[in-house]
């Protein structure tokens, strides 16, 4: 076959590719950087000049191998200290899919960073060292994946080369993990025995583990079905911005711009605006390229209504027969992101969909021990990287769904009123 | 159930539009930094989409180093006229004349670093509190850690070790007086995505991106275009080559690549088989391993 033709990228196919966002969790020694480096390298997402640069640095530092972690550790301080400080985003594509990796550090500030990376991920890769099996950290990472409602988890049992590619090792770890994960809510868990260093079962099938009949990691990432992960049932449209051209041509145009965060909207649909409670029908769904027959998540569109009602940023369009919860008292699982501890009875700015309000922390119910999944009720200080359950009261009612029902209408951030920093990430119960 | 799938380009587009609207809603005086390069052309297209049928509710601003390709400037002016946008231009040369900046010495002095001074002055002059940039995380490793909403202190500086976490669709643009944000709606795009988008939207781009004959000098492996800003060194001479540009920046530091690609499909094929990053043609990044991080900390784009 003519390889030139074979290699020629089918541009039409590229336009039909979908997108998978995944996060990777593992500790310093689990081989996470090596795994990412291999995915990037084998999918040709690493370029010659990048490879040359890290080869040169690896040699200069006297390493006997090309240190692929230098690719992901982008900041000077990270390279100097040999650690990853912050979530790094990496990109690669195969003819089937485009991938966004949020690569989160395994050790310091692990919770804060993993929660951040997980908040937008469809899938999590959890690395387990075949020699060590399921350890505390595996549980921690899995709990966070479950809490953040990542629907697909791929447990990569790495360094199989160091346990002679033995099936018993793989089977034991798989069973241990399943026993533990029964306490979590992750609907789709897969296990793959790999060697990131040698490449076994990463992109190419392993010749050393003929007993493994499942897919390689890349094949799994390319084929996992994520189309039903979004909520297409409960119609939610938080209004982001009101478009009023005030030009002669569009004198009376009044459009509500936003992103569909749930369900499907069509022209003619009866909608209700919250908090006002006024009804209207959708007249058109506008884009610059023409009107649409329907809008669904995560599209950014502009909706016009058949009558003028008072709607502004922070309001929400929903269907009259399917409304979100509406309350000023909200229970949250909170992950604390800041060195300044959560202040009981403290006041914070809260951001939920496109709405901003203020809130007071009424009560800390408990703190989670995220290694054992036990609730700690006698120590309720919530500091950096802690996860706990709290009750807040907001200055204005929120229109929300539980986080398990909808990630985007069920999540909030808390902001320090004085430093303006984002200090807490909350998932509504 | 019907299939509700969005292609990756449509998802990236929706994300960028969301970010732009968020900025228009959260900030008082945003501005879009525009260079005439492909990324900023895509940005303008997305801004049109975000606010249609209204006009883009913020001005465009170009920080002119004086070392631009003529073609890029012509394209810029044409485009601005066509879409009826408001363009502000501020010149590095003015900063130099005012004694606020000083040209580098050497055979290809770069004004790349000097742009920061002019940019920060211009942000302050107009009291802009958010500046859109076309930066992408795939361009360079310091950019890989950049947020969509990137906070800058009153000196315009970036503190990469103390960035605000960004979760879900919730972007925190709160700030104190005098501080501002840089906002990067194309954060999740790759070079390939940008080209595919330009092709699928049938957008116009400057001719520099397509193949043409040009006199160039080969220096440190890069093909630099003939211009008044470059001094030939001993033994160097200009020669005619068939080239195009993968990025369009300053003439002194943007290298051409030899190519016969005269349409978008060919360019896309070239990008797909390229073994060098696009910034591999940029001399400004080759200065040190942390060149980009250092410039960004001081307030670079």
The pLDDT value recorded for residue A4 is 40
The pLDDT value recorded for residue A205 is 92
Query: Does residue B239 sit in the same domain as residue B159?
Result: no
The pLDDT value recorded for residue B78 is 92
The pLDDT value recorded for residue A2 is 37
Query: Does residue A268 sit in the same domain as residue A350?
Result: no
* B181 and B150 Cβ atoms separated by less than 8 Å: yes
The pLDDT value recorded for residue B67 is 82
Question: Which domain does B75 fall in, by range?
Answer: 8-194+290-297
Q: Which stretches of chain A score pLDDT less than 50?
A: 1-9
How far apart (Å, rounded) are the C-alpha atoms in residues B136 and B192?
Answer: 11
B234 touches chain A (CB under 8 A): no
CA distances from B165 to A87, A116, A151, A180, A327 (A): 9, 6, 22, 29, 27
The tokens of B254 are what? Answer: 């943007």
User: Smallest Cβ distance to A300: which of B18, B290, B294?
Assistant: B18
Q: How far is A278 from chain B (nearest CA, A)?
A: 23
Query: Does residue B118 sit in the same domain as residue B148?
Result: yes
Q: How far is A111 from chain B (nearest CA, A)?
A: 12
The pLDDT value recorded for residue A8 is 44
pLDDT digits (tens, 9 = 90+) for B106-158: 766 677 778 888 999 999 999 999 999 998 988 876 777 789 999 988 887 88
Query: Does residue A198 sit in the same domain as residue A269?
Result: no
Contact list in B for residue A119 (CB cut-off 8 A) is 167-168
Q: Domain for residue A195, yes or no? A: yes
The pLDDT value recorded for residue B174 is 95
Containing H/E element for B243?
strand B239-245
User: Smallest Cβ distance to B280: which of A47, A288, A353?
Assistant: A47
The pLDDT value recorded for residue B143 is 77
pLDDT exceeding 90 applies to what percent of chain B? 43
A91 contacts B273? CB cut-off 8 A: no
The pLDDT value recorded for residue B285 is 52
Q: Which residue among A223, A252, A283 closes a domain?
A: A223
Mean pLDDT of B266-292: 63
Q: Which residues contact A228 (CB under 8 A, 6 or more apart)?
A: none
How far apart (Å, rounded) are the C-alpha atoms in residues A361 and B238?
Answer: 69
Mean pLDDT of B265-289: 65
Segment 63-122 of chain B within 8 Å of chain A by CB: none
Average pLDDT over chain B, rounded to an integer: 85
A69 touches chain B (CB under 8 A): no
Which carries the bigger pLDDT value, residue B255 or residue B150?
B150
pLDDT over 80 at B294, yes or no? no
Query: Does residue B174 sit in the same domain as residue B280?
Result: no
Query: Does residue A300 sit in the same domain as residue A355?
Result: no
How far apart (Å, rounded) are the C-alpha atoms in residues A373 and A183?
Answer: 9
The pLDDT value recorded for residue A264 is 97
A425 contacts B272? CB cut-off 8 A: no
Contact list in B for residue A255 (CB cut-off 8 A) is 53
User: Smallest Cβ distance to A75: which of B138, B275, B293?
Assistant: B293
B190 touches chain A (CB under 8 A): yes
* Cα angle, residue A263 at apex, residues A260 and A266 outer, rounded to 5°: 80
The tokens of B127 are what? Answer: 């009291």
Write the CATH number for B88: 3.40.50.620
Q: Which residue of B has its CA nearest to A425?
A: B167
Mean pLDDT of B34-63: 94
A57 touches chain B (CB under 8 A): yes
A7 touches chain B (CB under 8 A): yes
**Banded pLDDT at B273 (limits 50, 70, 90):** confident
Q: Domain for residue A26, yes or no? A: yes
Q: Domain for residue B2, yes or no? A: no
Write the CATH number for A334: 2.40.30.10
Which carries the bigger pLDDT value, residue A45 or residue B83?
B83
Length of chain B: 301
* B242 and B258 Cβ atoms separated by less than 8 Å: yes
Which carries the bigger pLDDT value, residue A292 or residue B191?
A292
Is the torsion defined by CA of A64, A68, A70, A73 positive or negative? negative
How far apart (Å, rounded) are the C-alpha atoms in residues B95 and B117?
Answer: 7
pLDDT digits (tens, 9 = 90+) for A204-262: 899 999 999 999 999 999 999 998 888 999 999 999 999 999 888 888 899 999 999 99
Q: Taking the mean position of all CA atoms in its chain, how far away is CA A275? A: 29
Contact list in A for residue B166 (CB cut-off 8 A) is 116, 422
Q: How many CB atoms lie within 10 A of CB A381?
A: 13
Question: Which domain does A406 fall in, by range?
Answer: 325-428
Which ranges of A253-385 does DSSP label H, i.e. alpha helix? none
Mean pLDDT of B42-71: 93
pLDDT over 70 at B291, yes or no? no
The tokens of A48 are what? Answer: 């010659």
Query: Does residue B181 sit in the same domain as residue B224?
Result: no
Number of domains chain A contains: 3
A116 contacts B165? CB cut-off 8 A: yes
Q: Tell me which residue has tokens 């360079």.
A: B140
Query: Does residue A293 sit in the same domain as residue A364?
Result: no
The structure's pTM equals 0.90
Mean pLDDT of B223-228: 82
The pLDDT value recorded for residue A11 is 55
Number of domains chain B contains: 2
Q: Which residues contact B170 (CB under 8 A, 6 or more apart)?
A: A351, A352, A411, A412, A413
Query: Does residue B148 sit in the same domain as residue B15?
Result: yes
Q: What residues does A157 pair with on adjacent strands?
A: A128, A193
User: Smallest Cβ distance to A48: which of B48, B53, B275?
Assistant: B275
Contact list in B for residue A258 (CB cut-off 8 A) is 21
* A46 and A70 Cβ atoms separated by less than 8 Å: no
Query: Does residue A161 sit in the same domain as residue A274?
Result: no
Query: Does residue A137 sit in the same domain as residue A179?
Result: yes
Q: Which residues contact B15 (CB under 8 A, 6 or more apart)?
A: A298, A300, B185, B188
Instruction: Give the ipTM.
Output: 0.91
The 3-state DSSP composition of chain A as helix, strand, coil percent (nearest 5) reads 20, 35, 45
pLDDT over 60 at B282, yes or no? no
Decide the pairing of beta strands A97-103 and A123-129.
unpaired
Query: Does residue B174 sit in the same domain as residue B53?
Result: yes
């Amino acid at each position: 076959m003519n390889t030139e033709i074979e290699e020629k990228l089918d541009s039409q196919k590229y336009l039909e590719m979908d997108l998978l966002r995944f996060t990777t969790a593992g500790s310093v020694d689990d081989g996470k950087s090596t795994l990412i480096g291999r995915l990037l390298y084998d999918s040709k997402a690493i370029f010659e000049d990048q490879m040359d640069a890290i080869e040169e640095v690896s040699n200069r530092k006297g390493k006997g191998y090309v240190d692929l972690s230098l690719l992901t550790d982008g900041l000077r301080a990270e390279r100097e200290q040999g650690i990853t400080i912050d979530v790094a985003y990496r990109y690669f594509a195969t003819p089937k899919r485009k991938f966004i990796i949020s690569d989160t550090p395994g050790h310091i500030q692990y919770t804060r960073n993993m929660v951040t990376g997980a908040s937008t991920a469809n899938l999590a890769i959890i690395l387990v060292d075949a020699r060590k099996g399921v350890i505390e950290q595996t549980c921690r990472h899995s709990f966070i994946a479950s809490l953040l409602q990542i629907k697909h988890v791929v447990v990569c049992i790495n360094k199989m080369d160091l346990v002679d590619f033995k099936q018993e090792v793989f089977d034991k770890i798989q069973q241990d993990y399943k026993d533990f994960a029964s306490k979590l809510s992750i609907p789709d868990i897969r296990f793959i025995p790999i060697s990131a260093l040698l490449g076994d079962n990463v992109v190419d099938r392993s010749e050393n583990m003929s007993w493994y009949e499942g897919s390689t990691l890349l094949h799994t990432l390319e084929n996992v079905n994520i189309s039903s992960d979004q909520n297409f049932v409960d119609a939610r449209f938080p209004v982001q911005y009101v478009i009023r051209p005030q030009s002669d041509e569009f004198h009376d145009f009044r459009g509500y711009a936003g992103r569909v965060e749930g369900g499907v909207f069509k022209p003619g649909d009866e909608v209700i605006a919250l908090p006002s409670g006024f009804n209207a029908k959708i007249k058109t769904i506008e884009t610059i390229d023409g009107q649409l027959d329907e809008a669904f998540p995560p599209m950014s569109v502009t909706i016009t209504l058949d009558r003028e009602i008072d709607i502004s940023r922070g309001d929400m369009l929903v269907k009259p027969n399917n409304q979100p919860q509406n309350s000023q008292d909200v229970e949250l699982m909170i992950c604390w992101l800041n060195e300044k501890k959560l202040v009981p009875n403290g006041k914070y700015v809260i951001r939920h969909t496109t709405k901003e309000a203020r809130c007071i922390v009424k009560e800390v119910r408990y703190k989670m021990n995220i290694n054992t999944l036990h609730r700690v009720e006698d120590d309720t200080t919530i500091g950096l990287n802690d996860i706990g359950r709290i009750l807040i009261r907001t200055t204005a009612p929120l229109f929300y769904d539980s986080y398990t029902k909808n990630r985007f209408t069920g999540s909030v951030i808390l902001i320090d009123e004085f430093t303006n920093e984002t200090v807490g990430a909350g998932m509504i119960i | 159930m019907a299939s509700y799938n969005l292609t990756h380009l449509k998802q990236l587009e929706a994300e960028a539009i969301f970010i732009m609207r968020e900025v228009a809603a959260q900030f008082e005086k945003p501005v879009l930094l525009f260079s005439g390069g492909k990324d900023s052309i895509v940005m303008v297209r997305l801004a049109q989409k975000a606010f249609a049928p209204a006009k883009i509710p913020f001005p465009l601003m170009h920080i002119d180093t004086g070392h631009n390709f003529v073609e890029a400037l012509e394209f810029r002016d044409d485009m601005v006229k066509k879409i009826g946008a408001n363009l502000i231009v501020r010149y590095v040369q003015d900063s130099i004349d005012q004694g606020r900046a000083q040209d580098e010495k050497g055979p290809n002095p770069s004004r790349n670093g000097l742009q920061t001074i002019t940019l920060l002055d211009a942000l302050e002059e107009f009291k802009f509190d958010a500046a859109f940039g076309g930066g992408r995380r795939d361009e360079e490793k310091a950019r890989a850690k950049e947020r969509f909403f990137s906070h800058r202190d009153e000196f315009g500086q970036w503190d990469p070790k103390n960035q605000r976490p960004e979760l879900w669709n919730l972007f925190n643009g709160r700030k104190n007086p005098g501080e501002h944000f840089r906002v990067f709606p194309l954060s999740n795009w790759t070079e390939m995505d940008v080209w595919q988008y330009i092709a699928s939207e049938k957008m116009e781009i400057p001719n520099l991106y397509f193949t043409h004959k040009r006199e160039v000098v080969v220096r440190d492996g890069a093909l630099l275009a003939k211009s008044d800003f470059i001094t030939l060194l001993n033994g160097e001479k200009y020669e005619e080559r068939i080239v195009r540009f993968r990025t369009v920046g300053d003439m002194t530091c943007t290298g051409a690549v030899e190519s016969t690609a005269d349409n978008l499909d060919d360019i896309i094929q070239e990008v797909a088989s390229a073994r060098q990053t696009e910034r591999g043609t940029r001399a400004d990044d080759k200065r040190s391993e942390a060149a980009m991080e250092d410039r960004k900390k001081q307030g670079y784009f």
